[in-house]
Chain A
Amino acid sequence: MRGPSRRLSQRLGRGFVRGLPFLWLALFFLVPFAVTLKISFSSPATAQPPYLPVLEWDGGLEGWREFFEALDFQNYQMIAADALYRDAALSSLGYAALATAILVLIGTPTAYAMARASARWQPILVALVIVPFWTSFLIRVYAWIAILKPEGLLNAALIKLGLIAAPLPILDSPFGVLIGLTYAYLPFMVLPLYAVMSRLDPALTEAAADLGAGRARAFFTVTLPLSLPGLAAGALLCFIPMVGEFIIPDLLGGSDTLMLGRVLWSEFFSNRDWPLASAVAVLLLILVVGPVVLFREAELRREEAAEGAQR
């Protein structure tokens, strides 16, 4: 019976390889998420860990029943009742959307210029985009404090140039947060766009020019539509983490900036209210998964429409 057993082991091997991504997802996403979800239904307690109930493995069926009876939606009710959380969510979405729009406006021409540079320059330009990652993210954000603060580099330069008389309050303002978000996430917008744009056949833009299109028309009718997959990938790659961003609003936005990441942090570490913080985390996840699902839906619909048009 060597034949069937070998076939079985082959099937198992193939299944293992295919299952690896799912195993990864289960271990490092689903299990932690289940734990977070459970905590979000618990009640805070002055204990170790700081919530109740805690599952007793040897409590038998009765233990399980008690455990589930102790879970409730109290935290979610609290979040719904307090306008702070709603405002934080809306303001997070607003910051992320605005910064994504700015990133699209800056990232598209940047990636386009990179893709059109000579073959000798392209690897150098890509390296320049990646180089900041060699420095700690935290240090780079701190560097922005030095630039943006009232007596910082930017204000000093503007005053020297005679453009302003008194320092602008850029640091600790929404504007500072936007500068920080744009700076920190630019590579995530540029790289996917560049990857798509550099693979476009240069003959396509030449054909557009040959058919009478000036540079602008060639860009908006040929290059940009064909780069949309890269643009969408870059936008999602930036938007999703920006909604939950904590460090940038905390360091550059001052105490008045309201974003979900900060709320989450203060619930966890200042108030030690793990259940409430977990509930906020769950809501944040729903908030950022939403755009992805919508995007996928739109993709599917477009593909279907394209299929339909061909008939």
Chain B
Amino acid sequence: MIRPAAPFSRNRPSQQTSRRESAATPVRRSILHASTSHPEQRLRLERVTKRFGPHMAVDGVSLDLAGGEFFCLLGPSGCGKSTLLRMVAGFETPDSGTIRLGETDLTALPPHRRPINMMFQSYALFPHMSVAANLAYGLKGLGLGRTRSAERVKALLRLVRLEGFEARRPDKLSGGQRQRVALARALAREPRLLLLDEPLGALDRALREETQGELRAIQRRLGTSFVVVTHDAEEAMALADRIGVMERGRLVQVGPARELYERPASRYVAGLLGDVNLIDGRLGRAEPGGVRGVETALGLLRASGEGEAGNAVVVAIRPERLVVSGEGEGEGDDLSGRLRGRLTEATFLGDRIRYRVEMANGSTLRASAALPASGPIPAVGETVAVAVPADAARILPA
């Protein structure tokens, strides 16, 4: 459990007018108080577009982020998520569209005048400066004075648990320590919005999970809006209040992790957030209760979703929602759409079992299940029944 210490003393000198704040609306907010609503932190993107030559990097992205939100931009490399982040930071200029933070139009402001800070993927720590000098770099021009700057550097070091590392050079730090210095440096100016470009990308797996929790705890503590860019769906789900999925420059779906996972809008989103079985079919008529029949090569499946009868569709179902049972078991259960297949693989993974079931038409379904508390596990080669619960099967456009 990580418990970040109180980072900064709450009062700022009243006569202070930094360049950053004279360009934007003045903020009198203490980082000590994590409140839930920050109208001045609200980030609004309107039809933001960026082109590199013939390549459409970001294509008409509109997005509205509430203050204090932890938002994640998710997508494979080259989908435009980093370009979008760099436009918010000011390192790229949109070809069209506007970027607003609170009431301030940022679109034409240079990076050093935006009340936003960024944590770089490479961390971009200044190699010729000590940790303390790196943290203090952004404090010049804030009008804090020597004593208050030193206090804030101390508070930042406490926040990321690096007390005693003031005099170190970045090259004498471990990867995890460097990551924390980069985070603290980006928070030094008390930004209204913090951008993080693949913040955990350079860490090894074990450290990554620990750092995820730390990052969340710091974000909750400070109440600053965080926007993280990542290509790792698990990381996005672990970190974010909401996730925005990007595909070839477009923002294709925005929502909480669970919503995206359970009700993806397209097969792209479904595949990006985890393993999924995709079954082609043709949509039948609407039935009562919002459930629709879909004619597939495996037979009639019942699934939930919208669409016009007769359209080609895809039924998407997560492996853990398929129910595999030995033949004859569970006859009484209300599991519509039982399919018959041959178990070709059962892999024991400790906390669960992964099955591969070959269906009558030669296609394969992947299923995974928690270990049953008792009773036999279907054996490889056996004929099994695969139940497709209608509420877990989603109808997606083909």
Determine if B189 is an interface residue (Cβ-Cβ < 8 Å).
yes
**Does B225 sit at the interface, judged by CB under 8 A?**
no
CB-based contact A212/B128 at 8 Å? no
- Segment of A4-12, A41-49, A99-107, A203-211 in the binding face: A203-211
Bound CA span A232–B122, Å: 27
Known: A306-B169, A309-B167. A213 touches B124 (CB 8 A): no
- B137 and A211 form a contact (CB under 8 A): yes
With both chains docked as a complex, state the minimum distance between the C-beta of A306 and any C-beta of chain B, in angstroms.
7
Residues of B within 8 A of A217 (CB): 140
| Segment from B112-120, B262-270, B287-295 that makes contact with A | B112-120
User: B128 touching A226 by the CB < 8 A rule?
Assistant: yes
Q: Complex formed: what's the CA distance from A222 to B128 in Å?
A: 8
- Known contacts A212-B138, A226-B127; A310 and B112 CB within 8 A of each other: no
Contact digits for B101-130, partner A, Cβ 8 Å, 1 yes 0 no: 000000000111000111011101111101
In whole angstroms, how far apart are the Cα atoms of A201 and B118 in the complex? Answer: 16
How many interface residues does B have (CB within 8 Å)?
A: 34
Q: Is the CB of B167 within 8 A of A212?
A: no
Total A-B residue contacts, Cβ distance less than 8 Å? 70
Contact string against B for A residues 118-133, beta-carbon threshold 8 Å, 1 for contact and 0 otherwise? 0000000000000000
Looking across the interface, which residue of chain B has its beta carbon closest to that of A222?
B126
What are the residues of chain A within 8 A of B111 when measuring CB–CB?
A: 206, 209-210
| Residue pair B128, A225 in contact (C-beta under 8 Å) | yes
Interface membership of A94, Cβ < 8 A: no
Instruction: Decide: A211 and B138 in contact? CB cutoff 8 A.
Output: yes
Which B residue's beta carbon lies closest to that of A311? B167
B359 at the interface (CB under 8 A from A): no
Is A169 located at the chain interface by the 8 A CB criterion? no
- Complex contact A201–B172 (CB within 8 A): no
Binary flags per residue of A197-240, CB closer than 8 Å to B gives 1, else 0: 00001011011111111100100011001100000000000000
From B110, which residue of chain A is reached at the shortest CB distance? Answer: A209
Q: Does B185 contact A (CB under 8 A)?
A: yes
Expressed in whole angstroms, the minimum distance between the Cβ of A237 and any Cβ of chain B is 23
Contacts of A310 in B (CB 8 A): 167-169, 172
Task: Decide yes or no whether B366 CB sits under 8 A from chain A.
Answer: no
The chain B residue sitting closest to A207, CB to CB, is: B124
Note all chain B residues with C-beta closer than 8 A to A209: 90-91, 110-112
Complex CA distance for A221 and B111, rounded to whole angstroms: 17
* A212 and B189 contacting across the interface, CB-CB below 8 Å: yes
**Chain B 229-252 interface mask (CB, 8 Å, partner A; 1/0):** 000000000000000000000000
Q: Does B29 contact A (CB under 8 A)?
A: no
Bound-state Cα–Cα, A208 to B110, Å: 12
Q: Compute how far the CA of A201 lies from the CA of B89 in the bound complex, rounded to whole angstroms.
A: 17
Q: Which 4 pairs, one residue from A and one from B, show the smallest C-beta to C-beta distance? A: A211-B138, A203-B124, A207-B124, A209-B111
5 A-B pairs (CB sep. < 8 Å): A207-B126, A209-B112, A213-B140, A217-B140, A222-B126
A210-B118, A212-B138, A309-B130 given; name 15 further pairs at CB < 8 Å: A203-B120, A203-B121, A203-B124, A206-B89, A207-B125, A207-B185, A208-B137, A209-B91, A209-B110, A210-B116, A211-B112, A212-B141, A212-B142, A212-B189, A226-B128
Binding site for B on A (CB under 8 A): 201, 203-204, 206-214, 217, 221-222, 225-226, 306, 309-310
